[in-house]
Structure 1
Amino acid sequence: MAVNQGEQIGALKQMTEREGVDDALLQRDADVFFHQTLSTPVFNTISKAEGAYIFDGSGKKYLDLHGNGVHTIGYNHPKVVEALKHQMDVSLSFAPRRFTNEPSVALAEKLTELAPDDLSRVLFCPGGSEAIEMAVMLAKHHTGKYKTLSFEGTFHGAGFQAVSIGADPHFKEGLGPMMPGALHLPLPDYFRNPWGSDDQQFVDDMYLKKLQDKIESEEEIAALVTETIFYNSTVPTKYYWEQVRSLCDEHGILLIFDEIYTAFGRTGKMFASEHFITPDILVVGKGFGGGIVPYAGIIGKEKLNTLQHKSIGHYTHEKSPFCAAAAKSVIEVLEEDRLVERAATLGDYFKKGLETLQGRFEIIGNVTGLGLNLGVDLIKDRKTKERAIGEAHQLMAFCFERGVSFKLIQQNILNLKPALVITQEEIDTVLNTLEDGLQKI
Structure 2
Amino acid sequence: MANRTEGDINLSDRRIEWQKKNISDSTYRILEEDSKYFIHQALSTPCLDCVESVDGIYLYTKDKRKIMDFHGNSVHQLGYNHPYLINALKTQLENLSFSPRRYTNQTAINLAKKLSELNGGNKRVLFTPSGTASIGVALKMVRYAKKKFKTISLWDSFHGAGLDSISVGGEAHFREGIGPLLPGTEHIMPYNSYRCPFGNCDDCGFKCLDYLEYICRCEGDIGAVIMEPIRCTDVQIPPKEYYRKLRDICDRYDVALIFDEIPTAFGRTGKMFAYQNYDIEPDILVIGKGLGGSLYPLSAVIANEKYNVCSEISLGHYTHEKSPLGTAIGLSLIEYIENNNILDRVSEIEKFMTSRVYEMRDKFECIGDIRCVGALIAIEIVKDRASKEKDIDLAEKILYNCLENGLSFKVSQGNVLTLAPPLIISDEELSESMNIVENAIYESIQK
TM range, normalised to the smaller chain? over 0.9
Correspondent of 2:74 among 66, 69, 81: 69
- SS of 1:18's partner is helix
Q: Which amino acid aligns with 1:215?
A: C
* TM-score normalised by length of structure 1: 0.95
Q: Which residue of 2 aligns with 1:321?
A: 324
CA change 1:353–1:19 in 2 (3 A) is closer
2:215 equivalent to 1:220: no
Q: Which residue of 1 aligns with 2:292?
A: 289
Distance in 2 between residues matched to 1:113 and 1:413, nearest whole Å:
36
Correspondent of 2:267 among 265, 270, 274: 265
- SS of 1:202's partner is coil
Distance in 1 between residues matched to 2:94 and 2:413, nearest whole Å:
45
Structure 1 gap segments, 5+ residues each: none
2:47 equivalent to 1:42: yes
Kindly provide the CA deviation profile for residues 255-288 of structure 1, in whole angstroms up to 9, marking residues without a partner as x: 0000001000000000001011110011100010
Q: Which amino acid aligns with 1:438?
A: I
- SS of 2:87's partner is helix
Contact kept in structure 1, 2:157 and 2:191, CA below 8 Å: no
Q: Which residue of 1 aligns with 2:184?
A: 181
Correspondent of 1:278 among 273, 278, 281: 281
- SS of 2:319's partner is coil
Distance in 2 between residues matched to 1:332 and 1:19, nearest whole Å:
40
Q: Which residue of 2 aligns with 1:86?
A: 91
- SS of 2:67's partner is strand
- SS of 1:170's partner is helix
Instruction: Output the aligned Cα RMSD.
Output: 1.7
2:426 equivalent to 1:423: yes
Kindly provide the CA deviation profile for residues 71-103 of structure 1, in whole angstroms up to 9, marking residues without a partner as x: 11110111111111112212x111111210011
Describe how 1:394-409 pairs up with structure 2 within 5 A.
394-409=397-412
Deviation at 1:119, TM superposition (A): 5.5
Correspondent of 1:250 among 230, 249, 252: 252
Kindly provide the CA deviation profile for residues 389-432 of structure 1, in whole angstroms up to 9, marking residues without a partner as x: 01101100000000010110111101111111112222211221
- SS of 2:46's partner is coil
Q: Which amino acid aligns with 2:173?
A: H
Distance in 1 between residues matched to 2:22 and 2:418, nearest whole Å:
26
Structure 1 vs Structure 2: percent identity of aligned residues? 38
Q: Which amino acid aligns with 1:406?
A: F
Q: Which residue of 2 aligns with 1:60?
A: 65
Q: Which residue of 2 aligns with 1:365?
A: 368
Describe how 1:5-404 pairs up with structure 2 within 5 A.
8-21=11-24, 22-90=27-95, 92-115=96-119, 117-118=120-121, 120-194=123-197, 197=200, 200-230=201-231, 231-276=233-278, 277-404=280-407
Q: Which amino acid aligns with 2:414?
A: Q
- SS of 1:266's partner is coil
Deviation at 1:107, TM superposition (A): 0.8
Distance in 1 between residues matched to 2:71 and 2:220, nearest whole Å:
39
Kindly provide the CA deviation profile for residues 195-216 of structure 1, in whole angstroms up to 9, marking residues without a partner as x: 565xx44335122122222223
Q: Which amino acid aligns with 2:211?
A: K
Contact kept in structure 1, 2:155 and 2:191, CA below 8 Å: no
Kindly provide the CA deviation profile for residues 101-122 of structure 1, in whole angstroms up to 9, marking residues without a partner as x: 011011111111212x346211
- SS of 1:122's partner is strand
Structure 2 gap segments, 5+ residues each: none
* Count of paired positions: 437
Distance in 2 between residues matched to 1:188 and 1:158, nearest whole Å:
19
